[in-house]
Amino acid sequence: MGATGTANLDFGTSGNMTDTFVDVAVAGVLTTSAVEAWIQVPAAATADHQSDEYWVENLSVYGGCLVNGTIRVFGKCTLGSTNGVFVVQWVWN
Protein backbone atom coordinates (compact mmCIF):
# COMPACT_ATOMS: atom_id res chain seq x y z
CA MET A 1 0.00 0.00 0.00
CA GLY A 2 1.37 3.41 -0.97
CA ALA A 3 -0.32 5.80 1.42
CA THR A 4 -3.63 6.73 2.98
CA GLY A 5 -5.02 10.06 4.03
CA THR A 6 -7.94 12.43 4.21
CA ALA A 7 -9.00 15.39 2.12
CA ASN A 8 -11.51 18.19 2.50
CA LEU A 9 -14.02 18.03 -0.34
CA ASP A 10 -15.50 21.54 -0.67
CA PHE A 11 -18.87 22.04 -2.38
CA GLY A 12 -18.76 25.81 -1.82
CA THR A 13 -21.20 28.07 -0.02
CA SER A 14 -23.95 28.63 -2.59
CA GLY A 15 -25.92 25.48 -1.79
CA ASN A 16 -26.47 24.51 -5.42
CA MET A 17 -23.31 22.47 -6.18
CA THR A 18 -23.70 18.94 -7.49
CA ASP A 19 -20.03 18.02 -8.03
CA THR A 20 -16.51 19.09 -7.12
CA PHE A 21 -12.98 17.76 -6.71
CA VAL A 22 -9.88 18.28 -4.63
CA ASP A 23 -6.26 17.61 -5.59
CA VAL A 24 -3.89 16.17 -2.98
CA ALA A 25 -0.12 16.15 -3.50
CA VAL A 26 1.12 12.63 -2.71
CA ALA A 27 4.73 11.55 -3.27
CA GLY A 28 5.10 8.38 -5.29
CA VAL A 29 1.61 8.06 -6.74
CA LEU A 30 1.56 7.52 -10.50
CA THR A 31 -1.09 7.71 -13.19
CA THR A 32 -0.90 3.91 -13.31
CA SER A 33 -1.58 3.56 -9.56
CA ALA A 34 -4.85 2.22 -8.18
CA VAL A 35 -6.60 4.98 -6.20
CA GLU A 36 -9.74 4.71 -4.09
CA ALA A 37 -11.76 7.27 -2.16
CA TRP A 38 -14.65 6.80 0.25
CA ILE A 39 -16.68 8.41 3.00
CA GLN A 40 -16.12 6.97 6.45
CA VAL A 41 -19.40 7.02 8.36
CA PRO A 42 -19.65 8.33 10.97
CA ALA A 43 -17.25 10.87 9.56
CA ALA A 44 -15.25 13.72 10.97
CA ALA A 45 -17.38 16.78 11.67
CA THR A 46 -16.48 20.01 9.89
CA ALA A 47 -17.53 23.61 10.46
CA ASP A 48 -20.25 22.99 7.85
CA HIS A 49 -21.50 19.48 8.70
CA GLN A 50 -21.95 17.35 11.79
CA SER A 51 -20.73 13.76 11.55
CA ASP A 52 -24.26 12.34 11.20
CA GLU A 53 -25.10 14.54 8.18
CA TYR A 54 -22.93 12.35 5.93
CA TRP A 55 -25.68 9.71 6.10
CA VAL A 56 -28.26 11.91 4.39
CA GLU A 57 -26.27 13.90 1.82
CA ASN A 58 -26.31 11.27 -0.97
CA LEU A 59 -22.61 11.74 -1.77
CA SER A 60 -20.51 9.54 -4.02
CA VAL A 61 -16.73 9.91 -4.09
CA TYR A 62 -14.11 8.53 -6.46
CA GLY A 63 -10.33 8.70 -6.57
CA GLY A 64 -7.87 8.83 -9.41
CA CYS A 65 -4.43 10.00 -10.45
CA LEU A 66 -4.40 12.16 -13.56
CA VAL A 67 -0.90 13.57 -13.00
CA ASN A 68 2.03 11.82 -11.30
CA GLY A 69 2.34 13.00 -7.69
CA THR A 70 -1.28 14.13 -7.31
CA ILE A 71 -4.41 12.29 -6.25
CA ARG A 72 -7.70 13.77 -7.37
CA VAL A 73 -10.78 13.01 -5.29
CA PHE A 74 -14.05 13.61 -7.11
CA GLY A 75 -17.31 14.15 -5.23
CA LYS A 76 -20.87 14.11 -6.52
CA CYS A 77 -24.16 14.78 -4.80
CA THR A 78 -26.35 12.17 -6.48
CA LEU A 79 -29.70 13.59 -5.35
CA GLY A 80 -30.24 17.34 -5.40
CA SER A 81 -27.35 19.59 -4.40
CA THR A 82 -25.26 20.37 -1.34
CA ASN A 83 -22.77 22.84 0.10
CA GLY A 84 -19.87 23.01 2.50
CA VAL A 85 -16.88 20.85 3.31
CA PHE A 86 -16.91 17.08 3.80
CA VAL A 87 -13.94 14.99 4.99
CA VAL A 88 -13.21 12.02 2.71
CA GLN A 89 -10.60 9.27 2.88
CA TRP A 90 -8.30 8.03 0.12
CA VAL A 91 -5.73 5.29 -0.49
CA TRP A 92 -3.43 4.38 -3.34
CA ASN A 93 -1.40 1.33 -4.22
Q: Find, among 54, 57, 36, the residue nearest to 46 by Cα.
A: 54
pLDDT in tens, 22-38: 999 999 999 999 999 99
Q: What pLDDT is recorded for position 47? A: 84
Section 59-68 average pLDDT = 96
Q: At residue 2, does pLDDT exceed 80? A: no
Choice between 75 and 2, residue whose per-residue pLDDT is larger: 75
Which residues make beta-bridge pairs with 17? 82
Largest CA distance in the chain: 37
Choice between 32 and 53, residue whose per-residue pLDDT is larger: 32
Long-range Cβ pairs for the range 40-45 (8 Å, 24+): 40/87, 40/89, 43/86, 43/87, 44/6, 44/87
Q: What pLDDT is recorded for position 40? A: 84
Alpha helix (H) residue ranges in the chain: none
